[in-house]
């Protein structure tokens, strides 16, 4: 399993789906570990009731069906499927509405879905916030710079039971992205990758769970975007400049 | 998410070998040995691993243009499809030697002097060797750790003026720092067709740059470009100079365009995926989300909502 994760860490992010299915077939007995530890690009389905798209993940899946957060129905229909309690469903509806506005303000498009379910172990609940954005010029890229561009974000928050007015929130976030520009003079330029981070907080529930979860996600997304931009992309740029330093540097250090 | 059905029956050995080859061939620059180590333990079958490695390593080594040092450390040889004499033998024209390599271990085990028929004619060698000297100078200036070579890929036995021939310039620069979770490679291949009949040189270049950073994540850069140019057919010295100038010019321009792509990231390209700040330019008002149900109702009534 460690070796399998080692492979996933090295293989090109754009090939992670192929790599995962290869590993699943080589290590069928580790399939549940692999599926829970390796994040995959998000898939969407269309809710037949309201015509809106929703995102698929392990958390809204039962057998081969997926529950839509809009109509609360499984696609394809499934008998005896699990549903959140009515109280949790109420919060889920609100979370989906608000998160869609949040998503629109940051992403100028894209699809989002939020799923909630009871956490039997801790008497709290778990929420999963998903965003998928196609930023290519044929998708929803406003500025039209990207030949190809995808951003998938997965935020899973475990919310502990209330304790003296506060609750413990544990957020695990993954962002997977790829972007490619292509033009005649500069050729193909493509960056892709994924990172995962965790954040723990104890917050007063007076503001409401949604408000607390939302703030954590907003902060986390900002951090992830920033470190991808500054650190991860920056490191690859540094590498390019190590391989072939820009002209000014060469002139300054003629003997290096 | 995983639509793949898990096979009830075991994979065949052939399927396992194909999967193993896929992982090896798709290893990032400089990381095939690490991938091989993990793959071996996932496969848990030495025979299948060895078969896959025998097939995948030579392909990987050539496509990544790896550089191997001679056993006596007197120089090194690039592994490319242009100087491959046999599947384990690669010509180093600069020293007129042939290196025997072990692809899987990625080492050079033996060196022997090249036979006359493995080398170009004196007429071709004159062009090749003067170009090699100029390229060597350029690579020394532009790449801190660049390795280069010039091969004749067509018409190596041409004895004198009157026939066409073709040289290839290969430049490879690699930086591996696994401790810093960072590896990268720059490879450029320039084909130069010497068209005797038209008294001109047609130049085609392919540049590929990869970088991988994987500390608590996995981010990869792939950049590629192709370009064409031409220049006059002249004496070997002048050809060498003008070819090298052409390559220098295009590679410098390409580096500049890479830097520009990076500088465009924060405000243009990346913004199409996710903005730094919302369109409202202030953090999202999580404490006051009730307002949205109101505006939503209004939008709905006005028919401007989604």
Q: What percent of chain A has pLDDT over 90?
A: 81
Q: Are residues B124 and B261 in the same domain?
A: yes
- Let me know: does B218 contact A13? Beta carbons within 8 Å: yes
Q: Are residues B227 and B238 in the same domain?
A: yes
Domain that includes residue A4, residue range: 1-38
Residue of A nearest to B273 (CA): A135
Please report residues of B whose CB lies closer than 8 A to that of A177.
273
Please report residues of A whose CB lies closer than 8 A to that of B277.
106
| pLDDT(A241) > 50 | yes
DSSP β-bridge partners for residue A14: none
Q: Do A57 and B1 touch (CB under 8 A)?
A: yes
State the virtual CA torsion across B254, B255, B261, B265 in degrees, nearest 10.
170
Residue of A nearest to B27 (CA): A11
Q: What is the pLDDT of residue B296?
A: 62
- Describe the strand order of the beta sheet including B218-232 as a list of residue ranges: A111-119, A124-134, A148-159, A166-183, A187-204, B218-232, B200-213, B182-195, B165-177, B146-154
Please report residues of A whose CB lies closer than 8 A to that of B33.
none
* Residue A37 pLDDT class (50, 70, 90 cuts): confident
Q: Closest to B220 (Cβ–Cβ): which among A185, A193, A225?
A: A193
Q: What is the pLDDT of residue B294?
A: 61
Q: Are residues B76 and B125 in the same domain?
A: no
Q: Could you tell me if residue A78 is inside a domain?
A: no
Q: Which of B80, B101, B119 is the last residue of a domain?
A: B119
- Let me know: does B273 contact A135? Beta carbons within 8 Å: yes
Best mutation site among B30, B276, B286 for testing chain A: the one with the most A CBs within 10 Å? B286
Q: Are residues A150 and A30 in the same domain?
A: no
Q: Is A246 on the interface with B (CB under 8 A)?
A: yes
Q: Could you tell me if residue B155 is inside a domain?
A: yes
Q: Are residues B257 and B141 in the same domain?
A: yes
Q: Could you tell me if residue A63 is inside a domain?
A: no
| pLDDT(A199) > 80 | yes
pLDDT, tens only, A126-152: 999 999 999 998 898 888 889 999 999
Q: Are residues A9 and A121 in the same domain?
A: no
What number is the average pLDDT over the span A202-221? Answer: 95
Q: Could you tell me if residue B281 is inside a domain?
A: no
| pLDDT(A256) > 50 | no
Q: Which of B63, B89, B105 is the last residue of a domain?
A: B63
Q: What is the pLDDT of residue B9?
A: 61
Q: What is the pLDDT of residue B288?
A: 80
Q: Are residues B125 and B99 in the same domain?
A: no
Contacts of A251 (CB under 8 A, 6+ apart): none
Q: Are residues B196 and B85 in the same domain?
A: no
Q: Are residues A125 and A34 in the same domain?
A: no
Q: Is A64 exposed, middle or buried (0-12, 13-18, 19+ CB in 10 A)?
A: exposed
Q: Are residues A225 and A156 in the same domain?
A: yes
Q: Closest to A7 (Cβ–Cβ): which among B35, B262, B266?
A: B35
Number of domains into which chain A is organized: 2
Q: Could you tell me if residue A143 is inside a domain?
A: yes
Q: What is the pLDDT of residue A93?
A: 95
| pLDDT(A250) > 60 | no
- CATH at residue A102: 3.90.1150.210
Best mutation site among A4, A26, A107 for testing chain B: the one with the most B CBs within 10 Å? A26
Q: Could you tell me if residue B294 is inside a domain?
A: no
Q: What is the pLDDT of residue B267?
A: 76
pLDDT, tens only, B22-79: 999 999 999 999 999 999 999 999 999 999 999 999 999 999 999 999 999 999 999 9
What number is the average pLDDT over the span B160-184? Answer: 96
Cα(A79)–Cα(A81) distance, integer angstroms: 5
| pLDDT(B299) > 80 | no
Q: Are residues B127 and B236 in the same domain?
A: yes
- Let me know: does B79 contact B68? Beta carbons within 8 Å: yes
Least confident of A11-15, A43-47, A120-124, B60-64: A120-124
Q: Do B225 and A188 touch (CB under 8 A)?
A: yes
Counting DSSP H helices and E strands in chain A, the numbers are 7, 10
Domain that includes residue B33, residue range: 9-63
Q: Which of B54, B86, B119 is the last residue of a domain?
A: B119
- Angle subtended at Cα B133 by Cα B131 and Cα B135, rounded to the nearest 5 degrees: 70
- Cα separation of the two ends of chain B: 28
Please report residues of B whose CB lies closer than 8 A to that of A40.
1-2
Q: Are residues A96 and A171 in the same domain?
A: yes
List the structure tokens of A191: 């960056």
Q: Is B9 exposed, middle or buried (0-12, 13-18, 19+ CB in 10 A)?
A: exposed
Q: Could you tell me if residue B238 is inside a domain?
A: yes
| pLDDT(A216) > 60 | yes
- CATH at residue B161: 3.90.1150.210
SS3 at position A29: helix
Q: Do B272 and A192 touch (CB under 8 A)?
A: no
Cα(B124)–Cα(B129) distance, integer angstroms: 8
Q: What is the pLDDT of residue B237?
A: 96
Q: Is A126 on the interface with B (CB under 8 A)?
A: no
Q: Are residues A28 and A140 in the same domain?
A: no
Q: What is the pLDDT of residue B297?
A: 62
Q: Do A192 and B220 touch (CB under 8 A)?
A: yes
Q: Could you tell me if residue B288 is inside a domain?
A: no
Q: Are residues B105 and B239 in the same domain?
A: no
Number of domains into which chain B is organized: 3
- Let me know: does A95 contact A130? Beta carbons within 8 Å: no
* Residue A249 pLDDT class (50, 70, 90 cuts): low
pLDDT, tens only, B93-136: 999 999 999 999 999 999 999 999 999 999 999 999 999 999 99
Mean pLDDT for all residues in chain B: 92
List the structure tokens of B73: 């450390």
- Let me know: does A45 contact A66? Beta carbons within 8 Å: yes
Contacts of B129 (CB under 8 A, 6+ apart): none
Q: Could you tell me if residue B220 is inside a domain?
A: yes
Query: B286, B216, B282: which is closest to A217 by C-alpha?
Result: B286
Q: Do B273 and A194 touch (CB under 8 A)?
A: no
CA distance, residue A85 to nearest chain B CA (Å): 23
- CATH at residue B100: 3.30.1140.60
Q: Is A90 on the interface with B (CB under 8 A)?
A: no
List the structure tokens of A182: 């292509």
Q: Are residues A96 and A160 in the same domain?
A: yes
| pLDDT(B305) > 50 | no
pLDDT, tens only, A64-73: 999 999 999 9
Count CB pairs under 8 A between chains A and B: 275
Q: Could you tell me if residue A46 is inside a domain?
A: no
SS3 at position B279: coil
Q: Could you tell me if residue A255 is inside a domain?
A: no
Q: Are residues B215 and B256 in the same domain?
A: yes
pLDDT, tens only, B248-265: 999 999 999 999 999 988
| pLDDT(A5) > 50 | yes
Q: Is A244 on the interface with B (CB under 8 A)?
A: yes
Q: Are residues A166 and A237 in the same domain?
A: yes
Q: Could you tell me if residue B273 is inside a domain?
A: no
List the structure tokens of A73: 């129905």
Q: Are residues A24 and A91 in the same domain?
A: no
**Distances in whole angstroms, Cα of residue B8 to Cα of each of A26, B11, B29, B137:** 12, 9, 35, 60
Q: Are residues B38 and B90 in the same domain?
A: no
Q: Could you tell me if residue A253 is inside a domain?
A: no
Contacts of B178 (CB under 8 A, 6+ apart): B31, B34
User: How many CB atoms are closer than 10 A to CB B96?
Assistant: 14
Q: Are residues B136 and B247 in the same domain?
A: yes
Q: Could you tell me if residue A251 is inside a domain?
A: no
Cα(A14)–Cα(B99) distance, integer angstroms: 36
Q: Are residues B142 and B55 in the same domain?
A: no
| pLDDT(A254) > 60 | no
Give the residue ranges of DSSP H helices in chain A: 2-10, 16-26, 31-37, 86-107, 209-226, 233-243, 247-252
Q: Could you tell me if residue A249 is inside a domain?
A: no
| pLDDT(B306) > 80 | no
Cα(A232)–Cα(A181) distance, integer angstroms: 18
Cα(A160)–Cα(A5) distance, integer angstroms: 29
Q: Do A135 and B221 touch (CB under 8 A)?
A: no
Best mutation site among B19, B145, B220, B300 for testing chain A: the one with the most A CBs within 10 Å? B220
| pLDDT(A255) > 80 | no
CA distance, residue A133 to nearest chain B CA (Å): 7
């Amino acid at each position: 399993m460690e070796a399998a994760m080692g492979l996933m860490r090295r293989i090109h992010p754009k090939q992670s789906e192929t790599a995962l299915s290869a590993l699943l077939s080589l290590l069928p007995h580790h399939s549940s570990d692999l599926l829970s530890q390796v994040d995959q690009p998000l898939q969407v389905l269309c809710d037949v009731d309201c015509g809106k798209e929703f995102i698929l993940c392990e958390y809204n899946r039962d057998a081969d069906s997926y529950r839509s957060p809009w109509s609360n129905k499984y696609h394809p229909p499934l008998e005896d499927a699990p549903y959140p309690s009515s109280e949790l469903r109420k919060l889920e509806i609100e979370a989906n509405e608000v998160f869609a506005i949040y998503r629109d303000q940051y992403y100028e498009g894209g699809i989002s879905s939020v799923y909630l379910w009871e956490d039997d172990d801790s008497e709290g609940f778990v929420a999963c916030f998903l965003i998928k954005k196609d930023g290519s010029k044929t998708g929803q890229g406003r500025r039209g710079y990207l030949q190809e561009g995808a951003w998938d974000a997965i935020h899973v928050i475990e919310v502990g039971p209330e304790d003296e007015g506060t609750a413990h929130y544990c957020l695990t976030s993954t962002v997977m992205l790829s972007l490619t520009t292509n033009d005649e003079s500069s050729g193909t330029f493509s960056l892709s990758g994924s990172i995962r981070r965790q954040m723990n907080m104890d917050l007063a529930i007076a503001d409401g769970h949604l408000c607390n979860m939302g703030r954590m996600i907003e902060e986390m997304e900002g951090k992830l975007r920033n470190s991808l931009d500054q650190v991860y992309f920056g490191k690859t740029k540094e590498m390019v400049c190590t391989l072939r330093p820009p002209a000014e540097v060469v002139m300054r250090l003629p003997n290096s | 998410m995983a639509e793949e059905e898990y096979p009830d029956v075991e994979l065949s050995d052939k399927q396992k070998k194909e999967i193993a080859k896929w992982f090896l061939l798709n290893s990032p620059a400089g990381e095939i040995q690490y991938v091989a180590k993990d793959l071996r333990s996932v496969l848990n079958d030495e025979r299948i691993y060895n078969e896959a490695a025998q097939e995948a390593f030579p392909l990987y080594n050539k496509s990544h243009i790896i550089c191997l040092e001679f056993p006596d450390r007197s120089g090194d040889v690039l592994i490319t499809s242009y100087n491959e004499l046999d599947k384990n033998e690669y010509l180093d024209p600069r020293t007129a030697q042939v290196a025997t390599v072990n692809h899987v271990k990625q080492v050079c085990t033996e060196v022997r002097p090249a036979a006359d028929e493995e080398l170009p004619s004196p007429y071709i060698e004159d062009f090749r060797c003067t170009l090699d000297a100029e390229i060597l100078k350029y690579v020394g200036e532009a790449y801190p750790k660049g390795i280069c070579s010039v091969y004749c890929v067509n018409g190596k036995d041409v004895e004198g003026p009157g026939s066409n021939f073709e040289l290839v310039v290969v430049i490879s620069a690699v930086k591996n720092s696994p401790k810093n979770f960072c590896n990268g490679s720059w490879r450029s291949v320039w084909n130069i067709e010497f068209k005797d009949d038209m008294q001109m040189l047609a130049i085609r270049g392919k540049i590929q740059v990869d970088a991988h950073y994987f500390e608590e994540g996995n981010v990869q850069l792939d950049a590629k470009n192709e370009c064409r140019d031409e220049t006059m057919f002249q004496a070997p010295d002048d050809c060498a100079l003008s070819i090298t100038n052409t390559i220098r010019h295009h590679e410098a321009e390409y580096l500049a365009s890479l830097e520009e792509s990076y500088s465009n990231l924060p405000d243009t390209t990346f913004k199409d995926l996710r903005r730094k700040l919302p369109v409202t330019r202030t953090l999202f008002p999580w404490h006051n989300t009730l307002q949205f149900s109101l505006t939503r109702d209004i939008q709905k009534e006005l028919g401007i909502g989604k």
